[in-house]
Amino acid sequence: MDIVLVGLNHKTAPVDIRECFAFDSLEADAGLKELSRIPELTEAVLISTCNRVEVAAACQDPDEGVSAIKDFFSRTKSMPLENFEQNLFVYKGDEAVQHVFRVASSLDSMVLGEPQILGQMKESYRLATQAKTTGAVLNRLMHRCFMTAKRVRKETGIGDHAVSISYAAVELARKIFGELTDKKVLLIGAGEMAELAVEHLLNHRAAGVFVANRTFERAVSLAQRFRGTPIRLEEVEEHLKIADIIISSTGAPGYVLEKKDVKKVLRARKNRPLFFIDIAVPRDIDPAINNLSNNFVYDIDDLQGVIDRNIDERQKEAVRAERIVDENVIKYRTWLEGLDIVPTIVSLQKKLEAIRQTEMAKTLAHVSGLDENGKEAIDRLTQSIINKVMHDPIQFLKAGGHREKQKKEVLGFTRDIFNLNNSQNGDNFTPDEE
């Protein structure tokens, strides 16, 4: 049994290609049913997010498995293979396992360390188990990938340090104020990043929000969303006396707040810190405000600088994360190799037990006067003989008492001398848990 993985992601395919191969939940369910009908694949999981579409599969022949998955993509998305084959990546064996573990651990994400991918992987696995397209091989693979991702998150700092403008703003605010519990936020203008920053601040228990906008109706709408208070632009200067964090994101051609505006309220603020987050381009906040005592102005470039430094920190942590991934790839490979041996051991045990039962029945049919105690004694005797005879060969197979490259020959030889290929193959058995 081997594992293959075929897919495309943000590194190998532009968005106009990726969007052609996206699967929503209904399409994913249909896709899994289609995968289950492909004879070259014994198990499959379909992973589809905004940045990647991948199929991980268990198969007997890796080359046939890869071809079958490529054909699946082409057929289900009605696109000739030659139009997208150059965008595909293909992994086999350990590389496929390593890729799955790296994806779940957010080492392959567009934003290194982002946490959403693990939830998306779990949802993909849930759909696959619901469609019954997984078995012992991929069940173990996915459970180990979740465990690996959990270790990476717990033992490294790959998820620390803000890497988005909105989170970076919150991180800076916490450095200035410590706790944000009683801090008031003034939002000037609106924009996606500014609104996200307000949401994050409120999640960190900021005390309240004032919303000012060129269009007062828009201010009312946003204030309702944040359970805040709408104000007119003319009231901004007055609210500088009570606000602690100013987030500005207007489309104004010049400064919305200048140094002289802030200077007027310094006495009323009694030297309390005032933090300006200027997300607008052109800038809304006069950078000269930074020269006033306890006033801090960060524009979009300052925030991006914070993010760049944080990304460097995450990259350092990624080295430790890769080590955890590699360690778990080895553990999974060891388990998978054991899986090849189990059917042979089970078949051998079944065959010898069948022989024992048959010979016991023949013998007891010709023995008279034997009571139940006598029959049980013979049963235990024959069981003991079988167990002792089989002990060394089974231990040899389990312990890998042969070179890996000879494994197929050893298993084949064992099956040949005991004529196991015509016996029950023990497919319902899986190796012992680690």
DSSP code of residue 257: B
**Residue 372 burial (CB count, 10 A):** 7
Structure tokens at 45: 């999981």
Pick from 59, 135, 123: nearest CA to 91 = 59
Pick from 179, 172, 190: nearest CA to 298 = 172
Question: Is 145 among the catalytic positions?
Answer: no
Give the three-class secondary structure for 101.
helix
Structure tokens at 29: 């369910």
Catalytic residue among 20, 50, 59, 145: 50
- For helices 25-36 and 116-130, give the axis angle rounded to 10 degrees: 50
User: Alpha helices, DSSP H only, in 13-61?
Assistant: 15-18, 25-36
- β-bridge mates for residue 358, sequence order: none
Helix, strand, coil percent values for the chain (each to nearest 5): 60, 15, 30
- In angstroms, how far is CA 354 from the centroid of its own chain? 46
- CA distances (Å), 150 to each of 24, 136, 158, 330, in order? 26, 21, 11, 17
- β-bridge mates for residue 166, sequence order: none
Asked whether the beta carbons of 69 and 55 are under 8 A apart, the reply is yes
- Alpha-carbon distance 126 to 123, whole Å? 5
- Alpha-carbon distance 1 to 96, whole Å? 13
Pick from 231, 143, 126, 154: nearest CA to 187 = 231
- Strand 274-278 and strand 245-249: the pairing is parallel
**Residues marked as catalytic:** 50
